Chains A and B, each alone.
Chain A
Amino acid sequence: MLVWQLGSMMGWIPSTKLAPPSAVLGAFWTLTVSGDLLRHLTVSLTRVSIGLFIGVAIGVQFALIVGLSRIGDDVVDPMMQMLRTLPYLGLTPLLILWFGIGESPKIALVAFASAFPVYMTLLGGIRSVDPKLIEAARVFGLGRWETIRHVILPGSLAPALVGLRYSLGAAWLSLVVGEQINADRGIGYLIMDARDFLRTDIIIVGLLIYAILGLATDAIVRGVERYALAWRPSMLRPSR
């Protein structure tokens, strides 16, 4: 950081390539005071939230269908595997043709990207639930839905939450791409706009915001893990 600041002050690093930390801080302050940052942040957060919600809902739904029924396994899984191998960022032109240039294509891109990680890990989790536990549930009189609720879903929660963290990563990544195409609001737009004026300080502010948002959402999921997986030995305090 010090070398960076010094390099800029000595003129070794031109500010059109990389602004010094002081300028980044200054840009951050200006953007905060003017309310621009909050406005763009709100837009980005909304896009990610809606997209993620739709994507995770679809991923979970399909994982349940595939994991819990033979027909789902035969019919839905091959389709999901095919879609999964698509480089989803390459879908952008198609999404623009389908959804126009408003909010929809950006949300659709986020949803598409975030559906697969949670699908894959939840499905894997469902398939790896100890069959002995399922058998015990049967012996003790649990019906099919009770078995799903008390045995299969809790048993596959841990991998599903890991998948959710991957989904979050994919969601932010696709938002970055989505917001740099035909956007007039959002952190991605802020960055693209700054590029046109060679404002590397604002670009770095935008990148930092992305990084912080990614870390913060990941921390939220890890918090959920600590609560929901309290039964796992690694989560238990050694004294107990």
Chain B
Amino acid sequence: MSQVGVSVRGLSLSFGSAEVLRDLDLDIAPGEFVALLGRSGSGKTTLLRVLAGLEEPSRGTMHVPQPRAVVFQEPRLLPWKVVWENVALGLRGPDVRQRAFAALCEVQLERRAQAWPLTLSGGEAQRAGLARALVREPKVLLLDEPFASVDALTRLRMHDLVVELWRLHEPSILLVTHDVDEALLLADRAVVLEDGRIAAQIHVAARRPRDPTAAAFVMQRRELLALLGVQTGSAQRSTSEKVAVSLEIS
């Protein structure tokens, strides 16, 4: 048996009487890039938090390879530590400083290594968060809407950066997002969460970098939006189209 990815079976989680995750199964292969979509309240952030070890599931089994790392929606940098110290937070072993600086180089933030976090722009802060996750050489990287609060141009650059770093380090990635385009641009597979379980998934086969104007992209985009309950102008699809986008409904 070679490498094992993320494996979740029969996962349930309740907050009081509210069941947020219901009997959920999910596999992420080693090095696979999965985007997790869903309407607000569908439980996608909760699922990420369970995988991050921040919530105890009520039922079910899961295997998450270690080390795992998280990039949060807000950067969550400690404002009283300069950037490189934030990256080095909790690192053990020798050469902590060098490793932190190397990670900052990878996200092109080395010249801000000595800056206070509150002086960073939104994009810089998120790159610092990314460096803080990558410096741990994670087998599983959990991204919780990390690009939601940065401007559109910065987001495009961050997308390229994430794909580049993913190719370099080959972690399994779970990206929680509400942005259909982001999911289709980045991920191997887009998973739709509804009422606490996986409702559908779409495999994205196109080579990266992907062209959002390509016919297949537009089709999958429409597909995904429909799964999320958004009716686009031309929502009428033929059965053959459905097959073409290799839609799987579990």
Contacts and interface: CB of A to CB of B under 8 A. Distances in A.
Whether both chains belong to one complex is answered with yes
Interface of A: 132-133, 135-142, 146, 150-151, 154-155, 157, 229-233, 236, 240
A157 B81 CA distance: 13
B212 interface: no
A200 B116 CA distance: 53
Interface residues of B, number: 22
Contact of A139 (B54, B80, B116): B54
B78 A132 contact: no
B76 A136 contact: yes
B53 interface: yes
Contacts of A146: 90
A229 B80 CA distance: 8
B166 interface: no
A240 B54 contact: no
B80 A231 contact: yes
Main secondary structure of the interface of B (DSSP, over half): loop
Contact of B79 (A135, A141, A231): A231
Contact of B78 (A150, A157, A236): A150
Nearest to B132: A140
Interface in B53-94: 53-54, 69-70, 72, 74, 76, 78-81, 89-90, 92
A233 B118 contact: yes
B238 interface: no
Interface string B119-141: 10000000000001000100000
Interface of B: 52-54, 69-70, 72, 74, 76, 78-81, 89-90, 92, 115-119, 132, 136
Contacts of B79: 231-232
Given A136-B70, A137-B78, A146-B90, 10 more contacts: A132-B72, A132-B74, A132-B76, A135-B54, A136-B76, A137-B89, A150-B78, A154-B80, A233-B119, A236-B116
Given A139-B70, A233-B118, A236-B116, A150 B76 contact: no
A141 B92 CA distance: 9
| 4 shortest interchain CB distances as A-B pairs | A140-B90, A141-B90, A136-B76, A154-B80
A235 B132 CA distance: 25
B116 A230 contact: yes
Contacts of A136: 70, 72, 76
Given A139-B52, A140-B90, A236-B116, A154 B76 contact: no
A138 B80 contact: no
5 contacts: A132-B72, A136-B72, A142-B90, A231-B81, A232-B118
A79 to B, nearest CB: 32
A137 B90 CA distance: 8
Contacts of B70: 136, 139
Contact of A231 (B54, B92, B116): B116
